[in-house]
Each structure stands twice: as C-alpha cells, then as structure tokens.
Structure 1
Amino acid sequence: MPFVNIKTPEGALSLAQKEEIVHRTTDMLVEYFSEAARPHTMVLIEEVKDGGYARADEVFILPDAYRAKAGS
C-alpha cells in the first residue's frame, strides 16, 4: 500500500487544495504502481501549528499572505 505523508503549516491550504493534492498524489502513484494501487493508496496531510516547526534556530510562523483564503 503506497503511503504519502505531507506536513504543511496549519492554515496554509484550503480544503479544495488539500483535496487536489490527495487526488494528484494518488494519480501519480497509480502511474508507478498501476491502477490496482488506487484503492490502497493513503495520502495523509498533517497540519503543523505555527511555531511547531523550524529550520536551524529559526522557528516559523506562517505569514498572513500565505494563509488559505476563507471560503477557498
């Protein structure tokens, strides 16, 4: 069973964007593993709260400009 785990900042993606990522990721994996993989493919999108991720010594907070628009 193919399994993809995507971590993204909380609020960065709209529901529609997450759905598109799930569908496109599933389609990509089916290209590699065949159509038989589709019903067994798991795509998990985990949203990480602001301040819950960092690189080196810099803790990240998602800027408002990068947040998903309400209703999108």
Structure 2
Amino acid sequence: MPFANFKLPEGALTKAQKEELIHKTTQMLVDYLSEAARPHTMVLIETVPDGGYGRADEVFTIPEAYRAGDLA
C-alpha cells in the first residue's frame, strides 16, 4: 500500500488545497506504480500547531503572509 505523509503548519492550506494535494499525490503514485495502486493509496496530511516544531534551533511560527485564507 503506497503511503504519503505530509506534516504542514496549521493554517497553511485551505480545505481545497488539502484535497488537491491528496489528488495530485495519489495520481503521482499511480503514475509510478500503475492504476492498481489507486484504491490502496493512503495520503495523510498532519497539521502542526505554531510553536510545535523548530528549525535551525528556533521555535517556528508560520508568518501571517503564508496562512491560508479559507481554513474550512
């Protein structure tokens, strides 16, 4: 079973963008593995709250300019 796991800052993608990421990731795996992989492909998008991870020894918070407008 193909499995893709994305960890993204909370609020970075809209619901529509998450759906698009799932569809495009599934299609990419089908392109590599064949259509038989589609029903078994799992795509997981995990959101990490601000302050829940770090980069270069600093706690990271997503800049306002990178936040999605529609958080549905």
Q: Does 1:30 align with 2:30?
A: yes
Partners of 1:20 and 1:64 in 2: CA distance: 22
- Unpaired runs of 5+ residues, structure 1, are none
Shift of 1:71: 6.4
- Identity score, percent: 71
Aligned positions, number:
72
TM-score norm. by structure 2 comes to 0.94
Q: Which residue of 2 aligns with 1:6?
A: 6
Q: Which residue of 1 aligns with 2:68?
A: 68
Question: Quick one: structure 1 residues 12 and 34, their matched pair in 2 at CA, closer, same or farther if it must change by over 3 Å?
Answer: same
- Unpaired runs of 5+ residues, structure 2, are none
TM-score norm. by structure 1 comes to 0.94
Superposed CA deviations along residues 13-70 of structure 1, whole A, max 9, x for unmatched, are: 0000000000000000001110000000000000000000112311100111100003
Root-mean-square deviation (CA), in Å? Answer: 1.3
Tell me the SS of whatever aligns to 1:45: strand
Q: Which residue of 1 aligns with 2:48?
A: 48
Runs of 4+ in 1 over 6 A off after TM superposition: none
